[in-house]
Structure 1
Amino acid sequence: MTASLLDFDLPARLEAHQPPEPRDNVRLLSGRRGTGEIGHHRFTDLPALLRPGDVLVVNTSGTLPAAVPVAGSPLTVHFSTATAAGTWLIELREPAGPYGGGAPGERYPLAGGGAVTLREAYSRGRLWVADVDTAAAASVPDYLSAHGAPIRYRYVPQRWPLSAYQTVFGVHPGSAEMPSAGRPFTHELVTRLVTAGVLLVPVLLHTGVASPEAHERPYPERFAVPATTLRTIARARADGGRVIAVGTTAVRALETAWNGPHSGWTDLVVTPERGVRAVDGLLTGFHEPRASHLDMLAAIAGTPLLQRCYEAALEGGYRWHEFGDVNLLLP
């Protein structure tokens, strides 16, 4: 059984419906691959769970207000990902979920005189390649800044400002959805980590809209990994330090750059069969049943430990989604 076939019922009571305040007021479930040990903590315990010389790899992508309503329609456009060709991958949404309609050549008017025109389907029933008319705005991010709102799903009933969807590391706007594993970090906690001897290094990956199904066709996302990040990781590993990625986006960026290009677009899919080369552990949120991200988690932690973590999270009442609790998978 592949990890993405890990199936379970996610009760609505375990969905996080609003951002926690303060943002580090979440729980942390730890799992150790070598021993299978499970631990229950607060996120503020993180410095004690790491060792001097460990490296945390953080994503510096900031979240765009990537949802724009279609004028005169119940539909909303979710701007997912810029492509190398200058088009965008977009998702058309109804209030109940992805919109199954649409056809090549259809034009959808947006606020402020903007519009999207569908070129071709990218993934069946969900993503489209589209041309974007930004009207008077100089770029799509500028247009979204003027007319967009954060992408919000049904389990978050209240509207929250864009600041609720940003991490302390997000200094380069470009993600359709927040790289949410980094959300619980505060400036104070970062200070505690640094003074404890934990290194923090940046990567960049602009993440697109989340996939609602396992094994959907991957799409390229823009990434960049500084040479200094790779050198710091190599030195830390030589000295016995562990490399812990903060979020699946950081894993994809770092694994792409480890023996490949340091910037560009990546559609890398990490599976247990492929394995990981640059990452020893992962700090991540809890993923939905059958989500393809679970394959990456199994590549890092092993499927038996992953199953134990999710059983413990369900039994312990941990919370899911971008405002929820986190899972620390250690070697």
Structure 2
Amino acid sequence: MRVDLFDFALPQENIALRPSAPRDSARLLSVSGPEQLSDHVVSDLPQLLSQNDILVFNDTKVIPAQLEGSRGEAKIGATLHKRVDLRRWQAFIRNAKRLKIDDVVDFGQDVFARAEERYADGSFLLHFLGEEPVEVLLGRAGTMPLPPYIASKRDIDERDAEDYQTMFAREKGAVAAPTAALHFTDRLIAALDDARIGRETLTLHVGAGTFLPVKVEETDDHQMHSEWGRIESATADRLNRAREKGGRVIAVGTTSLRLLESATGTDGIIQPFEGDTDIFITPGYQFRAIDGLMTNFHLPKSTLFMLVSALMGLETMQAAYAHAIAGGYRFYSYGDSSLLLP
């Protein structure tokens, strides 16, 4: 399909620079068809779902993966993307033309990394020097890797260390938050429990590739970056049993959805999973694992807008986004949410 089919105009004032407070006071657009749109707030979620539905959250935890450093006189920025081993990370580099293989970048705070390899997409393999765990080094020199559409408009500050982390965050390794889950609070979870709506967690370490623009003209020519994920055997079993009993599996965020779909065969059975996935979902894809999706509002011509269009239909999502823009919904990572029920 042509990538420009997924374009739309978004006013700058619709881009959220801070999250709603409290988190569950964010707006929620319920979508089940192009003329079946209704406005709510996230705290209404228990009334919008049914008993025995099950929400699936991503428990990845964002690490301070944004680094600013230098190689000689050259300023070098690095956004870690994917862990390769205990001391090596694939990273997207700003001012990459000034970085060569075997160059050592000084990120300050006694943190150094050697450029060991350059990949075909222009990213680098960075080897962090020394004996301290990389997590310790990042804690000293790194900052929270906010998306460019936020970081370009304001400074990253102490609030972001908490704001850009979900209440489910446990497994360190993401460089971007699974933002749909940012809306959840203890109060909302208690209300969901009272409504007998279940919840499960999986882990997908979201990479910085989620922010990369689609630069090709046809979707078939786009290459997705891979991300590491895991679904435990017991989790897969519980999700399969829930569906057998008529419950719906509702992915909270596109990250949860992509991992569930990666782990599910043509028979519709969710399998345990551990490894990399580069699944790219566009219209025409046949969903196997999920029955709905809670997700924020995405960028024009992004792989994530393509994904929601695959789930609901492009016409439906164009109508939904037009409604959201006209109604002043807040977009992107810190913005409002939608509940998509095909």
| AA partner of residue 107 (structure 2) | L
Aligned to 2:203: 204
Aligned to 1:158: 155
CA distance in 2, matches of 1:30, 1:226: 30
Matches within 5 A, 1:64-213: 64-71=63-70, 73-83=74-84, 87-93=88-94, 102-111=99-108, 112-124=110-122, 127-128=123-124, 130-138=125-133, 140-152=134-146, 153=148, 155-156=150-151, 157-161=154-158, 162-209=161-208, 210-213=210-213
Instruction: State whether residues 67 and 143 of structure 2, in contact with CA within 8 Å, keep that contact through their aligned partners in structure 1.
Output: yes
Deviation at 1:85, TM superposition (A): 9.8
Aligned to 1:280: 291
Identity, in percent, stands at 30
Counterpart pick for 1:264 among 253, 259, 275: 275
Task: From the superposition, tell whether residues 329 and 234 of structure 1 become closer, same or farther in structure 2 (CA, over 3 Å).
Answer: same
Instruction: State whether residues 232 and 272 of structure 2, in contact with CA within 8 Å, keep that contact through their aligned partners in structure 1.
Output: no
Aligned to 1:21: 21
Give the 3-state SS of the residue equivalent to 1:258 in structure 2.
coil
5+ residue gaps in structure 1? none
CA distance in 2, matches of 1:73, 1:247: 38
CA distance in 1, matches of 2:2, 2:199: 32
Instruction: State whether residues 175 and 207 of structure 2, in contact with CA within 8 Å, keep that contact through their aligned partners in structure 1.
Output: yes
Aligned to 1:255: 261
Deviation at 1:245, TM superposition (A): 0.4
Deviation at 1:108, TM superposition (A): 2.2
Give the 3-state SS of the residue equivalent to 1:5 in structure 2.
helix
CA distance in 1, matches of 2:288, 2:24: 30
CA distance in 2, matches of 1:182, 1:272: 25
Aligned to 1:221: 227
Aligned to 1:9: 9
Aligned to 1:238: 244
Give the 3-state SS of the residue equivalent to 1:312 in structure 2.
helix
Give the 3-state SS of the residue equivalent to 2:163 in structure 1.
helix
| AA partner of residue 307 (structure 1) | Q
Deviation at 1:93, TM superposition (A): 2.9
Instruction: State whether residues 109 and 116 of structure 1, in contact with CA within 8 Å, keep that contact through their aligned partners in structure 2.
Output: no
| AA partner of residue 325 (structure 2) | L
Deviation at 1:168, TM superposition (A): 0.6
| AA partner of residue 65 (structure 1) | P
* Structure with the largest fraction of helix: 2
Q: Summarize deviations over 1:4-46 as a string: whole Å, max 9, x none.
A: 731112211011112322222211111014x740011111111
Instruction: State whether residues 14 and 331 of structure 2, in contact with CA within 8 Å, keep that contact through their aligned partners in structure 1.
Output: yes
Deviation at 1:113, TM superposition (A): 3.2
Q: Summarize deviations over 1:200-249 as a string: whole Å, max 9, x none.
A: 01110000013331265222211000122222222221222111101111
Deviation at 1:178, TM superposition (A): 0.9
TM score, norm. by length of structure 1: 0.90
| AA partner of residue 132 (structure 1) | H
Give the 3-state SS of the residue equivalent to 2:24 in structure 1.
coil
Q: CA RMSD in A?
A: 2.2
| AA partner of residue 142 (structure 1) | V
CA distance in 1, matches of 2:251, 2:336: 16
Aligned to 1:313: 324
CA distance in 1, matches of 2:284, 2:98: 36
Deviation at 1:109, TM superposition (A): 2.1
| AA partner of residue 267 (structure 1) | D
Deviation at 1:253, TM superposition (A): 1.2
CA distance in 1, matches of 2:338, 2:163: 21
